[in-house]
Amino acid sequence: MVEVVDARGLRCPLPVIRLARAASLLPPGSVVEVWATDPAADADVPAWCRMRGQEFLGAEADPEGGHTAYRVRTVDDT
């Protein structure tokens, strides 16, 4: 299951807050994909994963959509 969180146009800390909210509602092993345009998400999403014990799967720029997609696998209850 992949849950998409559209945080395009939102500034720090809102993309990570939306990620945390989505992750808390999903069972372990689920994937959350955060779409963000805020450059701070490059550091914020991996940092949140480290602090919360979640698995950062990587980031990929979407040149057509003008955003970056950050993928996180939920490991445990957040």
Which two three-digit tokens encode residue 4? 């998409």
Whole-number pLDDT of residue 77: 59
Query: Which is the catalytic residue, given 3, 12, 31, 69?
Result: 12
User: Which domains are seen in the chain, by residue range?
Assistant: 2-73 (3.30.110.40)
Provide the percentage of residues in the chain whose pLDDT is more than 90. Answer: 91
pLDDT in tens, 38-74: 999 999 999 999 999 999 999 999 988 899 999 999 9
CA atoms within 13 A on the CB side of 39: 0
Active site annotation includes 49: no
